[in-house]
């Protein structure tokens, strides 16, 4: 009879181990997916929000804040996981030079913590600070020959912290 209990104990310990590994891996993959979603959404929204008429006139980059937020929220809503809630916190948006600092927090309720009697949730926090700049450093001239096209723009991620 002790061998039967030992076998049941080993099976229960293995199931508990697999369950805890599943929770940890889902937490990590959720953070990774949120990171890439935030990064790609921010880059695309910054490109959408470039004021092309200002760029053609003055040769300097300028981003429209309202257009950026509209594009960001639409793109982020399409790409998110439908099982979690997300809080978007915008810390800084500069129009000239175009810079964005965004934080996305998504609470992840784990069943194991609730099963142990806890009421807390684990939050996945993702930050992105991005600056839009020209690839080619030329004179921001007044003539059409010195002006660069919008395709020459590059988004530099200054501080990508998960």
Q: Which of 119, 104, 137, 122 is nearest to 38 (CA)?
A: 104
Please give the mean pLDDT across all residues of the chain.
76
As a whole number of angstroms, the distance between CA 151 and CA 162 comes to 29
For tokens 């030992």, the residue is 6
Residues 13-40: tens digit of each pLDDT: 999 998 888 777 666 666 778 888 889 9
Q: Which of 42, 117, 97 is nearest to 73 (CA)?
A: 42
As a whole number of angstroms, the distance between CA 125 and CA 103 comes to 7
Task: Provide the pLDDT for residue 70.
Answer: 93
Containing domain of residue 50, as a range? 2-161
Q: Which residues contact 36 (CB under 8 A, 6 or more apart)?
A: none
Residue 111 confidence class, pLDDT cut points 50, 70, 90: low
Residues 63-87: tens digit of each pLDDT: 999 999 999 999 998 888 777 788 8
As a whole number of angstroms, the distance between CA 3 and CA 44 comes to 61
Mean pLDDT for the stretch of residues 30-59: 85
User: Residue 89's beta-bridge partner residues?
Assistant: 103
Mean pLDDT for the stretch of residues 89-110: 84
Residue 154 confidence class, pLDDT cut points 50, 70, 90: low
For tokens 């990171």, the residue is 35
Mean pLDDT for the stretch of residues 48-69: 87
Q: How many structural domains are present in the chain?
A: 1
| Global pTM value | 0.66
Spatial contact of 105 and 87, defined as CB atoms under 8 Å apart:
yes
Q: Which of 125, 148, 144, 145 is nearest to 135 (CA)?
A: 148
């Amino acid at each position: 009879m002790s061998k039967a209990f030992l076998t049941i104990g080993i099976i229960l310990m293995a199931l508990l181990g697999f369950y805890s590994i599943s929770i940890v891996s889902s937490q990590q993959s959720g953070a990774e997916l949120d990171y890439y979603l935030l990064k790609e959404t921010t880059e695309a929204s910054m490109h959408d929000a470039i004021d092309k008429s200002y760029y053609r006139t003055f040769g300097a980059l300028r981003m429209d804040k309202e257009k950026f937020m509209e594009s960001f929220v639409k793109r982020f809503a399409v790409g998110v996981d439908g099982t979690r809630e997300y809080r978007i916190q915008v810390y800084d948006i500069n129009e000239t030079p175009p810079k964005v600092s965004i934080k996305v927090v998504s609470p992840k309720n784990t069943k194991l913590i609730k099963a142990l009697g806890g009421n807390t949730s684990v939050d996945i926090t993702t930050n992105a600070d991005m600056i839009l700049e020209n690839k080619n450093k030329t004179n921001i001239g007044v003539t059409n020959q010195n002006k660069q096209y919008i395709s020459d723009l590059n988004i530099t991620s200054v501080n990508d912290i998960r």
